Amino acid sequence: MYRIPEQNLDRLFSLTAEKSKLYIPADTAAGTAQFMPWKEGLKLTDAHNTVRSAKDFFFPQTENLVGFRVEGKSIEVIDVREETEDFVVFGVRACDVRSFSILDKVFLADPVDTYYKNRREHGTILSLACNMPEETCFCGTFGIDCAAPGGDVQMWQTDGWFYLEPLTEKGNAYIDTVSSLLEECGGEAAAECRRAIDAVKKKLPLAGLTTEGFGGDKMAELFDSEKWGELAEACLGCGTCTFVCPTCQCYDIRDFNTGHGISRFRCWDSCMYSDFTKMSAGQPRLTQLERFRQRFMHKLVYFPANNDGEFGCVGCGRCLSKCPISMNIVKVMKNLTEGDQ
């Protein structure tokens, strides 16, 4: 275990940035928080979480995949891939850390997505425990401990100090690069911080939410539930929930005529959109009810059915705070199991 006083945080950022690109969660002009490249004077936000998740670092909203140069009947394939530079993401919360393992199961399974793999190999995650989880948080429902957030280095902020515990080879390598600013210490302060967070977690409004009644063995029962109609009735199909979600992985691939050739790129998509997965035979999910059901069945049934029981939600609460009609996964879970819990 290591520690550094809060007043030396800028020195830690500066030394980190000398070795690798550094991103920290910082306040925006709009009053929200997002991950930004660190520069002198940029301060760590006091906000609990960023509006957009840290997923962007490994699965960006848009990315170029390949280019084509066409001359007559000749087509030249242009490899646009570049080796990703090493980077460090500071202050990632436990929910976002868990989301990486969910995305890994998608993008690192055969056939491996080399674009994603490249970024994962070059990124180092410094997580930060949640001293005061939001009332919209329910990560504990999915077995996530916001008091021990994981990653390559996990950190706690308490009594004017940041405490750092490396957990992986990447984490130990990072500690070595900034060791001149750190002092070794025992783990008592971090343990006390964890106990304080555990006490807060028990008082959260959603602390009692469970996954009982969900999972792969509930597929037919939940799919055929008559409650989907009422739940989906108010959904606007705006896709906001999917774009703030740290585990959504749907994307589209499109070709763009640059005037000098063709650029093929990948961009996020949403299963909530009427043209999602549209094929020559049409859209397989024709109604908003079907699209709404698909999103939540994937998180709570299909994904755990294919991934040893791991759910596709991390309880970050972003969809609770951002849905314009306040229809979110918590309401879905409660409604579908009403009378069962």
Q: Is residue 341 part of a domain?
A: no
Q: Is residue 141 part of a domain?
A: yes
- Domain span at residue 142 reads 2-201
Nearest CA-CA partner of 197 in 135, 126, 132, 128: 132
Place of tokens 């998180």: 299
User: What is the predicted pLDDT for the residue at 106?
Assistant: 96
Give 161's strand partners.
Answer: 5, 158
Its pTM surpasses 0.75: yes
User: What is the predicted pLDDT for the residue at 339?
Assistant: 55
Report how far residue 123's alpha carbon sits from residue 77's, in angstroms, rounded to the nearest whole number: 29
Answer yes or no: are the C-beta atoms of 323 and 223 closer than 8 Å.
Answer: no
Do 146 and 26 sit in the same domain of this protein? yes
User: What is the predicted pLDDT for the residue at 305?
Assistant: 95
Q: Are strands 251-257 and 161-166 parallel, antiparallel or unpaired?
A: unpaired
User: What is the predicted pLDDT for the residue at 4?
Assistant: 97
Do 230 and 197 sit in the same domain of this protein? no
User: What is the predicted pLDDT for the residue at 260?
Assistant: 81
Do 157 and 52 sit in the same domain of this protein? yes
Q: Is residue 207 part of a domain?
A: no
Do 58 and 170 sit in the same domain of this protein? yes
Q: What is the largest CA-CA distance in the chain?
A: 71
Q: Of 178, 201, 224, which residue is a domain's last?
A: 201
Could you give the C-alpha distances from 142 to 100, 117, 137, 307, 313, in angstroms and in order?
14, 25, 11, 14, 7
Q: Are strands 153-158 and 251-257 parallel, antiparallel or unpaired?
A: unpaired
Do 15 and 111 sit in the same domain of this protein? yes
Do 221 and 313 sit in the same domain of this protein? yes
Under 8 Å CB-to-CB from 122, ≥6 apart: which residues?
84, 85, 86, 87
Low-confidence residues of the chain: pLDDT under 70? 279-283, 339-341
Q: Is residue 38 part of a domain?
A: yes
Residue type for position 299: K
Q: Is residue 206 part of a domain?
A: no
Do 319 and 224 sit in the same domain of this protein? yes
Do 167 and 309 sit in the same domain of this protein? no
Do 62 and 180 sit in the same domain of this protein? yes
Q: Is residue 209 part of a domain?
A: no
User: What is the predicted pLDDT for the residue at 341?
Assistant: 43
Do 57 and 84 sit in the same domain of this protein? yes
Q: Is residue 284 part of a domain?
A: yes
Q: Is residue 100 part of a domain?
A: yes
Number of domains in the chain: 2
Do 148 and 33 sit in the same domain of this protein? yes
Report how far residue 91's alpha carbon sits from residue 240's, in angstroms, rounded to the nearest whole number: 24
Do 67 and 90 sit in the same domain of this protein? yes
